[in-house]
């Protein structure tokens, strides 16, 4: 759920704009279903990696992990 939470409106806007720009390119190349699956998979992997690595983080928020995956 960290990918869905954002610390501010500006943070949300920046992540949405980046995801729209990159997502549009991936969607043209791979299709809408595959793009949605890639985004969902990236979000799940980021969350799982943060849990598995047991990093000393108190919170994680935003789509940056999805955008950069």
pTM of the complete model beyond 0.85: no
Q: What is the pLDDT of residue 6?
A: 87
User: Please, which residues have CB within 8 angstroms of residue 49's CB and are 6 or more apart in sequence?
Assistant: none
- Give the span between the Cα atoms of 34 and 12, in whole angstroms: 23
Q: What is the pLDDT of residue 67?
A: 85
Q: What is the pLDDT of residue 35?
A: 95
- Convert the pLDDT of each residue in 2-43 to its tens digit: 888 888 999 899 999 999 999 999 999 999 999 999 999 999
Q: What is the pLDDT of residue 17?
A: 94
């Amino acid at each position: 759920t960290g990918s869905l939470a954002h610390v501010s409106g500006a943070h949300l806007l920046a992540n949405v704009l980046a995801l729209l720009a990159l997502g549009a390119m991936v969607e043209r190349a791979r299709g809408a279903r595959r793009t949605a699956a890639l985004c969902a998979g990236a979000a799940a992997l980021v969350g799982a990696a943060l849990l598995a690595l047991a990093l000393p983080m108190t919170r994680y928020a935003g789509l940056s992990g999805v955008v950069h995956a």
